[in-house]
Amino acid sequence: MMDTRTLLQSLAWLSHELGREDRQLAILGEGNTSAKVGDGTFWVKASGSQLATITDDGFSQVHLDKVLDLVARKQMSQEEVQAAWPDLMVDPQQKRPSVETFMHALCLSEGGAQWVAHTHPISCNAILCSQLGAEPFRRHLFPDGIVVCGRHPAVVPYVDPGFDLAKAVRTELRRYQDAHGASPKLLLMVSHGITALGQTAQEALNITRMADKWARTLLGTFALGGPAYLPDHEAARIDSRLDEHYRRRQLRG
């Protein structure tokens, strides 16, 4: 279990990398990050903090099980969610957690992630906000997209951010695990953004940046006749190669 100081430093580093203006992954208060502690809690970006400039006091520590207990409810009003925050927080004096805290809790539990990065890349949203939605991401264009982002991304339709979105994410995580026998690395959210599920801060950043490259490449192919996708058998071969498994571990950090 990483000590709190080191974890927050790593979480701030990840947030700053995602918030870099030149990368166009998130601006202003967009996006959020989280990391699992190992003691039944996790740290998540506080509401209103900015990824590019966040400091240690821009994160809030939250009880994982208490958040999951709320997600198990059939529904919650906005007023009920607001009233629940003090009980969910380890220290109610900290800033209020991001509205996406429910989604982060699911990614860190049912999604099997240790680090989560949620962003709104211009490149990805140019596709996810289009008439095609997530469909162009259903197949791969180049090997590194498979190695870093996984063979198949998970997909959720547009749902109001917060409690309702978390319910949709839970449904998709369970469907994905039933279909593929593993958790996704990349979650695509139609008309919203993307979420990277990593085992390290570096992996969460890698997935986000590769998804950005994937989207930019897709957009370029549509200007030149459309995507030339890898055949499914080639994509499966890349996903199962032993040398690519080794490279995944090295890239993860």
Phi, psi of 149 (to 5 degrees): -95, -5
Domain ranges, residue 58: 4-252
What's the structural domain count of the chain?
1
**Backbone φ, ψ for residue 23 (5° rounding):** -85, -20
> For the whole model, what pTM was predicted?
0.94
Q: How confident is the model at residue 1 (pLDDT cuts 50, 70, 90)?
A: low
> In Å, how far are 130, 165, 210 from 152, measured between CA atoms?
20, 20, 14
Question: Are 12 and 43 in contact, with CB atoms under 8 Å apart?
Answer: no
Lowest mean pLDDT among 8-22, 52-66, 117-131, 231-245: 231-245
Q: How confident is the model at residue 235 (pLDDT cuts 50, 70, 90)?
A: confident
CATH number at residue 22: 3.40.225.10
Contact 182, 131 (CB under 8 A): no
